[in-house]
Amino acid sequence: MILSVSRRTDIPNYYFDWFVRRMKEGFLYVRNPMNAHQISRIDLSPEVVDCVVFWTKNPAGMLKRAEELGRYPYYVQFTLTGYGKDVEPGLPHKRREMIPVFQTLSRKAGNDRVIWRYDPIFFNPIYTPAYHLKAFEEIAHSLAGYTHRVVISFLDLYAKIRHNMAEFSAQELPDADLLEFAQRLAAIARRYELRIESCAEAIDLSAAGIGHGSCIDGKLIEEIIGCPLLARKDKNQRKECGCVESIDVGCYNTCLNGCLYCYANEKESLVRQRAALYDPASPLLCGTVGTLDRVSDRRVRSWKDPQLFRLPEAAE
C-alpha cells in the first residue's frame, strides 16, 4: 500500500502531529468524501505500508519530527511557485523562508526524495510568461543540487475555483506560445540539471523536452525501497494521470494555506469550521465519528513483489 498524504490537504504543514501519532498507533480513519457516513479504518503497520508520499507547500513542522517516521520509506512533493500573497495568502515568504526549508529538508531526507513542483501555472497581466520564467529560474538556481526533478502543470479551471480565480483574469496561451514557454522552462531546468516533467497534462510537451510524469511514482518508489512493485495505475485519477494506486488519508476543506487555485477547498468559512475540529489524538482527521457513521476495515496489502521473498524450492 502506498499512502498519499495528501492531495486533499497539507498534512505536513498543519496536521503532522496527527499523522505521526497515527503511525505510532498503527491505524487511522478516513471518511469517504463521496459518502460522508462511510469511514474506513486503515492499517498502518510497516508490513503493509510500502511508501508514504507527502504533498506540501510548507513542511517546516515536518522537519522537527521527520525522524519519527522510523521504518516508513517516504518522499516529499514540495510545491514552490513564484506567486505572491494575492494567490497564496497562507504561505511564508518564498526567498526568506520556503527556499531554506526546501534546502534543509533535502539535506535531511536526501535530494532524490524531495520533488520540486512549480504548479499550477496560470497566466494573467501580472503573472505573465516572462514573470514565470524569471521566478522559475530564480527558484531553480536556489534549489540546484537539492533536488533532481521538477514537475509542472497548467491550471484547470474547475467549477469550484472559478469564483476565486475570476478576479485574476486567467488567460490561456495559444498552443504555439505555450510550446515556446515550455521549451524555455525546459532549457532552464537543463541548465540546473533538473529533469522536468508534466503532471496529468493532456497536452504533449515532448517536443519541448518535457515528458509526462507521475506524482505517485512507482519507479521512484521501487528505487527508494529497493524492491519491484505490483501496483497498478490509479483508476480513480484522470486518464492523463500516470500515478500508481494509493490511499489518500486527507480530508477536503481543511487546508489553511488558502491558495485561490485550490480545488480541495470550497470556501474559507467551511475550511475554518472543519480545521477547528482538529484533534491530534483522534483517529479521524478534523472530525469525530458520529452515531450515523459506519466504520469498516479497508483491505490493504503490500505491493512488493512476493517473488523476491521466496526461496528456491531446492533451498526450502
Band of residue 54 on the pLDDT scale cut at 50, 70, 90: very high
179 contacts: CB under 8 Å, gap ≥ 6: 205, 207, 208
pLDDT at 96: 96
Q: What is the mean pLDDT of residues 234-252?
A: 89
Cβ atoms of 175 and 204 closer than 8 Å: no
pLDDT digits (tens, 9 = 90+) for 107-152: 999 999 999 999 999 999 999 999 999 999 999 999 999 999 999 9
Helices 99-109 and 129-143, packing angle to 10 deg: 40
In angstroms, the CA 186 to CA 44 distance is: 39
Q: What is the mean pLDDT of the chain?
A: 93
* Lowest-confidence region among 7-16, 60-69, 138-147, 233-242: 233-242
pLDDT at 167: 82
Whether the predicted pLDDT of 312 surpasses 50: no
User: Which residue(s) pair with 297 in the sheet?
Assistant: 41
Q: In the numeric block, which cell numbers belong to residue 106?
A: 533535502
pLDDT digits (tens, 9 = 90+) for 269-287: 999 999 999 999 999 999 9
Please give the model's pTM, rounded to 2 decimal places.
0.93
Band of residue 314 on the pLDDT scale cut at 50, 70, 90: very low
Q: Where are the domains of the chain?
A: 2-315
